[in-house]
Chains A and B, each alone.
Chain A
Amino acid sequence: MAQNSYTPSLQGNPMSATGSQYPNGNPNAGYNGAGAKNTDSCVPLHRSGEVVHNYTCDGPAPGNIAFRWIYGSNVAAMNRDPRIQAMQYNEDTYILRENVCVHWEAPFTYLLFGNKGALLIDTGATPEAAYYPLRTTVDAIVTRWSQMRGRKNVPLTVVLTSGEDIAQNQGLGQFAGRPNTTLAPKPLAEMKEFYELGGSWPSGIGKIDLGDRVLDVIPTPGAHKDGVSFYDPYNDFLYTGDLLFPGKINISNDKDYVASLARLKEWKDKHPVKWVMGGHVEMQFVPGKAYPRFATYKPYERLLQMEPQAIDEALTYAREVEGKEMMLVRPDFILLNGVSPDQKTSVFPAGVPNINAPRPF
């Protein structure tokens, strides 16, 4: 677009990936305080006392994954990327990725803030703080956030999309003994009690109140028998862990898996969902192709976020593999039911371009 023809009110913010007219919220909307400007920050320039944020908004909260994820290197030993890449999605949402060369699972961890506390979803694949300083990173973000908001007390809750998943529960130990911190228990029975789902698992819905930002806990066993997903009504995100992510999804119980996806679909039909945010990326940016397990160099990775339609598609094809030991390739994910994690197939979905990304050497 030519410089002189740009009209912000018509064409939106050129810096916005969405190009929407009010990528950071309409300043004239009722929930904005008097004198609010259409700026990136919800924190006033000159604050006096604690800032209380209004988490109500039209549609999903503005946010942006504006950078590329770190993707390892050809020679893992020579990798010099940060051990944890911290991306600020918006002022109350951080996405953390473990370096591929620290652990090939390269899990994503989400740090969310509300008016009464912070929530860490998942804890990564590496226990050693020297290799994977999750606690230090989270502490630094919490400190900085609390300084910006003028808060002294930011209690932290650490939860897992699956207590048994060693690609997501390994960093939990780093938070043991952290003051003002609640850790969700790993054993299934205790975890159900923690979310008050003891009597209603898996059909019930649990709650995590961060203060004006209440996340829903949706039991989604199937990839793990203790799998849960979290719904974030501020960003309209579903954090689905190993249940649904752009990668090779190992179905551990196909009946549960289909039932969980059906529950997610029902949820999605009743609640706005912007993106499904999984715990890993294994797909390449060419359709239907995934990186093998243990790969430490993934230069052609697919994006992390999935459109909500992925739930419908996953449900459709999960029903197809139910009761069969097979691998099924879709453009954005691969289902593995009752087969090895290294299973290969020559069956490629019809109508999908079969492209091979260049092989790094």
Chain B
Amino acid sequence: MALPIVSVVLPTANAVMVPEAAAEASVSEYPAADRIDFTTHAPAAGTFPDRWICGSPSCMDNQDPAVQVHWYNEHTVFLRQNKAYSYEAPFLHLYFGNERILMLDQGFTTLRTDWALRDVVDNCIEKWCLRHGRKAEDMELLMAFSHLHADHYAALNQFIDRPNTRTMGLTHEEMVGFWGMTNYPEERVTLDLGGRNVLVWGNPGHVMSEFAYYDTYTQILYTGDMFYRGRCYISFWDRWFDSMKRLIAFVDTHPVTHVVGCHVEISRTGEDYPYGITYQPDEGPVQLTVEELRHAYEVAKTVTKPGIYFTGSVFLCNQTRGTTTIDKNPYAYS
């Protein structure tokens, strides 16, 4: 029996989606004085902290904030979940535009009483609006994420009742529909945040449904769990390698300041922090260079079978999901 084709009507972001070339010609409706110029000075300078909060020897004695808020620059915020709130300690991004705000990922703790991400984000938005003479309720918040794993959307429900907020959706079909894509993963669409364009395209490999985001203002390329300083669990090698090719083609044609992933699991000295650990005192920076991405691609070209391959900055865990281990029993003796 043939299954009926169900047409799902979704609250998509199509209205703000325009083909890449046309986006640049969009005309402002704000008076010039109020409007922030996100194009003339790109890439906008920004900073990463020397050290992110990275857990503590005793979790219950952790005195760090539940979420570290770092303003990369005036219009860009990076957030990090405290390791004592979730060992995944994912990074979250906020990109402010003239009309709307893009939030990438929502962390790994569900309850607002456990981890008040909503309050932190609302606070960031209010601060930004205050500085730039806008009303928070006029700014549309778009909730998107890299892929459908719980450490990237667990706190989404905290935003469900937030006014003027739209969510990407929790199925692949909804997400693709949200971005108005008809040819996933090749198609690259442009999200206009109001004078600030974010490019979005498919980035599968870790999972079948994942997205890459490129912010034209900071020129930061966000690669989610597909490529980050840690154990990239590659479930679908061919898909991942294709995504890698797309990323390389992208950095060949676009200026990229940093490649940023969702987690950090490797120390400055290249030591692996095992899965689940809650204290990473010497962790490496979250941002990777384009060279590190290119080098990983060169390493990936030589990969022919499942296994763990260290590129110097990331572990490529090719189809090892069930047994990914770099740790050995330290007490083994003969």
Interface residues of chain A, those whose CB is within 8 Å of chain B, are 74-81, 83, 99, 101-104, 126, 128, 130-132, 164-165, 223-225, 250-253, 292-296, 336, 338-344, 346, 361
Contact = CB atoms under 8 A, between A and B. Distances in A.
B216 interface: no
Given A131-B58, A253-B333, A293 B274 contact: yes
B318 interface: no
A99 B154 contact: no
Given A76-B62, A252-B332, 9 more contacts: A76-B278, A77-B82, A78-B60, A79-B59, A101-B60, A131-B61, A294-B87, A294-B278, A346-B322
Contacts of A103: 58
B334 interface: yes
Interface in B43-94: 57-62, 66, 82, 84-87
A83 B59 CA distance: 11
11 contacts: A76-B62, A77-B84, A81-B60, A165-B331, A252-B332, A293-B277, A296-B87, A339-B329, A342-B327, A343-B325, A361-B150
Contacts of B333: 225, 252-253
B115 interface: yes
Nearest to B110: A361
Nearest to B114: A75
B59 A296 contact: yes
Contacts of B66: 77
A338 B333 CA distance: 10
Nearest to B82: A77
Given A164-B331, A252-B332, A340-B328, A294 B277 contact: yes
Contact of A340 (B60, B61, B84, B327): B327
B325 A131 contact: no
- Interface SS, B side: loop
A225 B57 contact: no
Contacts, number: 108
B329 A252 contact: yes
Interface string B294-334: 00000000000000000000000000001111111101111
A222 to B, nearest CB: 10
Nearest to B115: A75
Interface of B: 57-62, 66, 82, 84-87, 109-110, 114-115, 150, 154, 274-278, 322-329, 331-334
Nearest to A132: B58
User: Chain A CB within 10 Å — which of B85, B87, B331, B333 has the most?
Assistant: B331
Contact of B58 (A81, A101, A293, A361): A101
Nearest to B326: A340
Given A294-B87, A294-B276, A361-B150, A79 B60 contact: yes
A78 B114 contact: yes
A77 B60 contact: yes
A225 B329 CA distance: 13
Contacts of B154: 361
Nearest to A294: B276
User: Chain A CB within 10 Å — which of B59, B150, B154, B328 has the most?
Assistant: B59
Contacts of A292: 275-276
Contacts of A83: 60
A77 B85 contact: yes
